[in-house]
């Protein structure tokens, strides 16, 4: 739903400022939903202070946090995945960069506290850390800098968009020692560390200093908190497009619904249209990873349909059923849950939506032919 913009005719200058702040707020919220430091959700890594200064991408002002949104959109278009997130890395100085507005700096601090942005200690080489995450995850760095390894170079595309051009050799094999670090859960000694202090299976790859896993935020040695549970990556597709990715780990069921309202659940409400909202239950279906596969339990009022290679059938209510690798759950017409990497059941896919829809045109000046 689109909130009504604040109306006023008597003070046009004031109205415009209010409107710009309002639009900027909404655009940053949309970008926030597409940031993560969990490689299960991301498809690329960015060094934030470089991105905010990509002025020629939009011919706008010197520094703007909204440029992150141009890269989110570029990556979504490249991968055909409207749910893919960016892994942002920045050195601590960015939080006090006076070329950004005080609101932008406040937003960055919140993202860091929420673990959506990896903030490195003062003076730490952020681009090198981005390269390390790239090497450990096989995901490209979105950068114009010369880096060793796997990169996508952002260049201005048509209509105010960004094109990403692959450069570098592509993902290289991960050394055994590093691979071992990725199969463990890690804990940081700093209380409430946003990267390695919270429950859940999503965790950034540790920084490896001569093979020793360290917290990239705090520079502290991490302690081994046991084997990382096995995880299956799932996606929610709406109208044939991936709108959200999530992971299900052994021993931690995940509830998907309109508003499941519990830790670790997947809330679809904001992504659904009016009609779908009336069909999808608050808690619609629970997913669980067991040793022999993913199990689904219907919790809904209107039911869940399983579409598989052998046809379609209703998921029995209140009873867990094992899903085949290619099975798709239909919560209602056009709203599907499936394993990441499977083809959409509905074929009416359009281009991924833009997180920049609400971006104020003063900060991001679009070329005229786009209007």
Q: In angstroms, what is the minimal distance from the CB of 217 to Zn ion?
A: 5
d(CA 169, CA 343): 28
The alpha carbon of 314 is separated from its chain's Cα centroid by a whole number of angstroms, namely 31
d(CA 79, CA 72): 11
Q: Which helix (H) or strand (E) holds 236?
A: strand 231-238
Q: Which helix (H) or strand (E) holds 338?
A: strand 335-339
DSSP 268-324: -GGGS-HHHHHHS-SS-EEEEEETTEEEEEE--SS--EEEETTEEEEPPBTS-EEPP
The single residue among 218, 243, 245, 258 that binds Zn ion, judged by CB under 5 A, is 218
Which pair of tokens denotes residue 161? Answer: 């968009």
The single residue among 65, 151, 181, 188 that binds Zn ion, judged by CB under 5 A, is 188
Q: In angstroms, what is the minimal distance from the CB of 90 to Zn ion?
A: 15
Q: Is 27 in the site for Zn ion (CB under 5 A)?
A: no
Residue with smaller CB distance to Zn ion, 111 or 246: 111
Residue with smaller CB distance to Zn ion, 193 or 272: 193
Closest CA to 73 of 37, 109, 43: 43
Q: In angstroms, what is the minimal distance from the CB of 97 to Zn ion?
A: 22
d(CA 59, CA 192): 40
Which pair of tokens denotes residue 193? Answer: 């560390």
Closest CA to 352 of 70, 140, 79, 160: 79
Q: Is 190 in the site for Zn ion (CB under 5 A)?
A: yes
Q: In angstroms, what is the minimal distance from the CB of 119 to Zn ion?
A: 10
Q: Is 129 in the site for Zn ion (CB under 5 A)?
A: no
Residue for token pair 């903030």: 119
Distances (CA, A) of 6 to 20, 22, 25, 42, 360: 11, 9, 14, 35, 14
| Window of 19-27, 53-61, 214-222, 314-322 that interacts with Zn ion by CB under 5 A | 214-222
Residue with smaller CB distance to Zn ion, 68 or 188: 188
Q: In angstroms, what is the minimal distance from the CB of 181 to Zn ion?
A: 15
Residue for token pair 């679809």: 268
Which pair of tokens denotes residue 314? Answer: 């209703």
Closest CA to 32 of 94, 100, 142, 112: 112
Which pair of tokens denotes residue 205? Answer: 């790859």
Q: In angstroms, what is the minimal distance from the CB of 218 to Zn ion?
A: 4
The single residue among 86, 133, 193, 276 that binds Zn ion, judged by CB under 5 A, is 193
Q: In angstroms, what is the minimal distance from the CB of 126 to Zn ion?
A: 16
Burial 65-78 (b: 16+ CB within 10 A, else e): bbbbbbbbbbbbbb
Enumerate residues 45-64 that contact Zn ion by CB under 5 A: none
| Window of 75-83, 113-121, 165-173, 212-220 that interacts with Zn ion by CB under 5 A | 212-220
The single residue among 34, 67, 129, 217 that binds Zn ion, judged by CB under 5 A, is 217
Q: How many residues in the shown chain lie near Zn ion by CB under 5 A?
A: 6
| Window of 44-52, 94-102, 181-189, 299-307 that interacts with Zn ion by CB under 5 A | 181-189
Residue with smaller CB distance to Zn ion, 82 or 213: 213
Residue with smaller CB distance to Zn ion, 20 or 190: 190
Residue with smaller CB distance to Zn ion, 112 or 139: 112
Residue with smaller CB distance to Zn ion, 194 or 260: 194
d(CA 96, CA 107): 12
| Window of 116-124, 188-196, 199-207, 360-368 that interacts with Zn ion by CB under 5 A | 188-196
The single residue among 27, 36, 162, 215 that binds Zn ion, judged by CB under 5 A, is 215
The residues binding Zn ion (CB under 5 A) are: 188, 190, 193, 215, 217-218
């Amino acid at each position: 739903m689109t909130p009504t913009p604040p109306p006023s005719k008597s003070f046009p200058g004031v109205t415009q400022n209010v409107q710009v702040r309002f639009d900027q707020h909404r655009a940053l919220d949309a970008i926030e939903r597409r940031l993560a430091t969990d490689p299960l959700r991301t498809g690329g890594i960015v060094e934030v202070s470089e991105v905010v200064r990509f002025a020629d991408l939009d011919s706008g002002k010197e520094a703007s946090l909204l440029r992150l949104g141009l890269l989110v959109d570029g990556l979504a278009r490249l991968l055909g995945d409207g749910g893919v997130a960016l892994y942002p890395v920045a050195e601590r100085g960015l939080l006090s960069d006076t070329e950004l507005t005080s609101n932008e700096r406040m937003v960055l601090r919140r993202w860091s506290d929420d673990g959506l942005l990896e903030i490195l200690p003062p003076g730490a080489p952020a681009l090198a850390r981005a390269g390390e995450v790239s090497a450990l995850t096989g995901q490209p760095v979105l950068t114009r800098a010369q880096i060793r390894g796997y990169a996508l170079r952002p260049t201005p595309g048509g209509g105010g968009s960004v094109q990403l051009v692959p450069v570098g050799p592509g993902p290289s094999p991960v050394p055994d020692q590093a691979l071992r670090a990725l199969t463990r859960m890690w804990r940081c000694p700093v209380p409430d560390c946003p990267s390695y202090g919270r429950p859940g299976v999503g965790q950034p790859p540790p920084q490896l200093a001569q093979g020793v896993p360290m917290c990239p935020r705090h520079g502290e040695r991490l302690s081994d908190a046991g084997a990382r549970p096995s995880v299956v990556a799932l996606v929610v597709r709406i109208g044939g497009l991936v709108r959200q990715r999530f992971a299900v780990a052994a021993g931690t069921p995940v509830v998907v619904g309109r508003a499941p309202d519990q830790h670790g659940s997947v809330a679809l409400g904001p992504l659904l249209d009016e009609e779908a909202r009336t069909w999808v239950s608050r808690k619609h279906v629970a997913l669980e990873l067991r040793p022999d596969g993913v199990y689904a339990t219907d919790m809904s009022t209107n039911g869940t349909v399983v579409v598989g290679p052998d046809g379609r059938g209703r998921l029995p209510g209140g009873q867990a059923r094992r899903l085949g690798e290619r099975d798709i759950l239909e919560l209602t017409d056009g709203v599907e849950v499936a394993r990441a990497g499977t083809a959409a059941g509905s074929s009416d896919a359009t281009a991924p939506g833009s997180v920049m829809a609400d971006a104020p045109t003063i900060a991001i000046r679009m070329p005229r032919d786009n209007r």
